[in-house]
Amino acid sequence: MSQEYEKIERMVQQGKLTRAEADELLATLEPKESQQSSPPIQGAQPRTRRTFRIHVDEARTGEHVDLGFPMALAGIGLNILARKGRATVGVDGKQVPIDVDEIRRLIADPAFVGELMHIHAGDGDDVILSIE
């Protein structure tokens, strides 16, 4: 069992993830070959792989962060945020609420691609959450 699998199982035992969330997360860790082995459904449109992206530009230091995650991980992260009651982000010393339900709705829409949230702080920092 890989370290990732062990960490996920530990999170289930600690109550940080439900079994369903863990199963969804574990499915994203499966090798791509096993996902491609099943024959396509006749008449089905090929699915393009969407990515949840977090892009941060910090004005003071000039640092940039650009992270991309499989959509399944974004859904799990939102579930954890909602369950823990931390659906906010700090901007200029204030906690700004995140509309988790709206983000979930957009994530669930396979046709949606674009910006989910753009936060521009007074100090010039930018945080952009998007689906590509």
Regarding whether 20 and 55 lie in a shared domain, the answer is: no
Based on the structure, what is the number of domains in the chain?
2
Regarding whether 21 and 60 lie in a shared domain, the answer is: no
Regarding whether 55 and 29 lie in a shared domain, the answer is: no
| pLDDT tens figures, 18-29 | 877 777 777 776
Regarding whether 4 and 66 lie in a shared domain, the answer is: no
**Which range marks the domain in which residue 5 is found?**
1-34
Regarding whether 30 and 52 lie in a shared domain, the answer is: no
Angle of helix 19-28 relative to helix 71-84, nearest 10 degrees? 160
Q: Is pLDDT at 2 greater than 50 in this prediction?
A: yes
Regarding whether 68 and 21 lie in a shared domain, the answer is: no
Regarding whether 63 and 124 lie in a shared domain, the answer is: yes
Q: Is pLDDT at 36 greater than 70 in this prediction?
A: no
Regarding whether 55 and 30 lie in a shared domain, the answer is: no
DSSP 46: P
| pLDDT tens figures, 56-84 | 888 888 888 888 888 877 777 777 766 76
| pTM, entire model | 0.54
The residue to which tokens 């982000």 are assigned: 89
